[in-house]
Amino acid sequence: MAKKTEDKPINLEKKLWKTADKLRKNIDAAEYKHVVLGLIFLKYISDAFDELHQKLLEGKGEYAGADPEDKDEYGAENVFFVPEKARWSYIQSQAKLPNIGKLIDDAMDLIEAENNTLKGVLPKTYGRSNLDPQTLGGLIDTIGTIALGDEKSKNQDVLGRVYEYFLGQFALNEGKKGGQFYTPESIVKLLVEMLQPYKGRVYDPCCGSGGMFVQSEKFIESHQGRLDDISVYGQESNQTTYRLCRMNLAIRGIDGSNIKWNTEGSFLNNAHKDLKADYIIANPPFNVSDWSGELLRDDARWQYGVPPTGNANFGWVQHFLYHLKPDGGHAGFVLANGSLSSNSGGEGDIRQKLVENDLVECIVMLPKALFFNTGIPACLWFLRRGKKQRNGEVLFIDASELGYMIDRKNRTFAPEDIAKVADTYHNWLSSTSFDTKMPVSSDSESNEELYRDIKGFCKSAAIEDIQKHKFVLTPGRYVGIPEEEEDGIPFQEKVDALTEKLRTQMQTAQQLDQDIKAQLSKIGIEL
């Protein structure tokens, strides 16, 4: 009888993590994440295969007369075909053998040979001498107790949650190196909720493990949209991270064929030169100095000024703009706060041209400690080509005080924080400039949807206002300081209470001085 799989997801995730963490005695986290996530992926596709395989064996209804070993039967239902010696039942039966690592590598080869979309994607490093077979066998046994790819698990998104948990934990454990491929979920959710990618081409030129695409899929599903209405395009320069991305998309049923890998990266070897995307969602590496900018001085992408060779930030900004469709193309991305105010290397001039050409739509200041890998203050930029709303205006949002600490080092957004920022943005878009100056009427339901400047939090600024600030885009310059809430206590009453408190404290201090002197006098010390 199979073991229960109804564990609360978090307990399941922690159980898996504890088991996987035993691998650290032999290899570091940068390596063992591929061991763990590769096995989870193998279990997932095997579970999905087994469920359909059983239906084909029974041969009832629409499956009457079907061949359980016919690859086409599985392809017709978007299920990966898993050869016999790659199926989880076989792998688990061999888990205690000393050559289990090689058997898993062979299984990965067999799967790639039968599924073109997975060629070159799966990890094949299990047969290494530094990977303890006994520990690996224990990990296989643990994963074997969890249903991942059957219909019920898919509906509960067990695999997705486990996968995201592991990516987050690896980022925490690896620090800077891990954070290169993982953007915290709450930031991705905020970007997606603000962009709302319902339909069209979604592009991420530094896509890491594919979190932007996964959240886009979740957004569409949560709003009863069709996943078929979007197509994803991406590029990644790190091969192992690229493989993580392809696996992450595969388990979600997202077509990853337009995710490209090359060692040069998006600047030197642009894999989607002709792409004009509806949406761009990205978290490019911050403040990169060795981006080969000196080789790209005459590049066609630099429409608003040549980025400095010592910082890639405005290279990324213009790369995004270059790939946005001209009529309504919409980009949301993370950048270091320095991008909002820096004037070095001509960055100020580029930023000025972006504002003057009415490409900047919204700037969001983020709280500190949101990222696992860096203490660099960060912000969100939102750009749009061919604005149809709020022409000549930029919305500034200061979200630096939102969120809560999940531990001593890391912060996250609560769902209500994400809703507050996203709703502010969408209400601003759907309101006119005139709306912001109208008084709120108590008998008008529509007023709930109208945007209002809130001191200390949000401000809609005209380009003329931004010009006065020399095109610095730091939200604090525009939103101001929040007004203090009145507590209803008269000023004089507050003064009297504070004076009395001070008088009492001073009397107490005098008495303590006397007591100390008396005690010192007893041991012959006079003050």
Query: Which one has a higher pLDDT value, 520 or 71?
Result: 71
Query: Which one has a higher pLDDT value, 182 or 468?
Result: 468
What average pLDDT does the segment 406-423 reach? 91
Helix (H) or strand (E) holding 30: helix 29-58
What is the pLDDT of the chain when averaged over all its residues? 85
Query: Which one has a higher pLDDT value, 199 or 160?
Result: 199
What average pLDDT does the segment 142-154 reach? 74
- Within 327-450, where are the H helices? 347-356, 415-430
Cα 302 from Cα 295, distance rounded (Å) = 13
Confidence at residue 163, expressed as pLDDT on a 0 to 100 scale = 66
Q: Which of 359, 355, 397 lies closest to 280, judged by CA? A: 359
Residues in the chain: 527
pLDDT digits (tens, 9 = 90+) for 262-280: 999 999 999 999 999 999 9
Confidence at residue 221, expressed as pLDDT on a 0 to 100 scale = 77
Name which of 27-31, 232-236, 450-454, 505-509 the model is least confident about: 27-31
2, pLDDT greater than 60: no
Name which of 47-51, 441-445, 447-451 the model is least confident about: 441-445
Helix (H) or strand (E) holding 458: strand 458-462
Confidence at residue 149, expressed as pLDDT on a 0 to 100 scale = 67
- Within 176-293, where are the H helices? 176-179, 185-195, 211-222, 239-250, 265-268
357, pLDDT greater than 50: yes
Query: Which one has a higher pLDDT value, 461 or 14?
Result: 461
